[in-house]
Amino acid sequence: MGDIPLVIAIDGPAASGKGTLAKRLAAHYGLPHLDTGLLYRAVALTVLDAGYSIDDHAAAARAAATLIADRLADPRLRDRAMGEAASRVSSVPAVRAALLAWQQRFAGNATGAVLDGRDIGTVVCPHARVKLFITAAPEERARRRHLELQRRGESTSLGAILDDIVARDARDAQRSTAPLKAAADAVLLDTTELDADAAFAAARAVVDGARPH
């Protein structure tokens, strides 16, 4: 793998498949993986558990500053409502600043790491050796999320999920701090027509091409 740590930065909108891809790449290359979205979900859950409004920026900033890794194991973080709540707290600059330091510590692992989120290649790890931007059509992302929720026994309409995804895309792209966008040197991977195995093969080819031989 060479002396330079292999940091793989994976960005993309909700339900693009970046999380599944990140986990598989981390396992394949023997690297630790961080789903950075869980950090924001954990902040949101901490705020709500303490009885504050999700729009209380001071409470969100305090939660981010004191976040510990154990919070990332809470199964409630996977609830659909937490995705919406996380998107809202992620627009708070103080939250992003606190979690930026958290993520950069994780990325500083000696052998490297795989991080997925929305500003990994642009802000968290701008010098990552590999940068991928995973995307897919909103309708396809909504279909995938709908299937995922059905498998978990959650009942919701496909239309409502699509509305959520479109709203989150707009909020994430328009926020003033670290908006969702592809890094200039990121490889764009559109998974609309790809299954998980095909997406993994395409991503692995990019990573292998960036590693020293």
Is 19 marked within a binding site? yes
Domain boundaries, given as residue ranges, for the chain? 6-210
Q: Which residues pair with 134 in a beta bridge?
A: 189
Is 12 marked within a binding site? yes
Q: Which residue has the tokens 């919406």?
A: 84
Sign, CA dihedral 43-44-49-53, equals: positive
Is 37 marked within a binding site? no
Is 156 marked within a binding site? no
Task: Convert the pLDDT of each residue in 75-115 to its tens digit.
Answer: 999 887 898 899 899 889 999 999 999 999 999 999 999 99
Task: Convert the pLDDT of each residue in 187-211 to its tens digit.
Answer: 999 999 999 999 999 999 999 998 7
Please tell me the pTM assigned to this model: 0.88
Say which CATH topology domain 6-210 has.
Answer: Rossmann fold (3.40.50)
Cα Rg, the chain, nearest whole Å: 17
Is 117 marked within a binding site? no
Q: What strands lie across the sheet with 33-35, from one edge to the other?
A: 33-35, 112-117, 6-11, 130-135, 187-190
Give, in order, the Cα–Cα distances in Å from 66 to each of 77, 103, 173: 17, 14, 27
Task: Convert the pLDDT of each residue in 116-170 to its tens digit.
Answer: 998 999 999 999 999 999 999 999 999 999 998 888 888 889 999 999 899 888 8
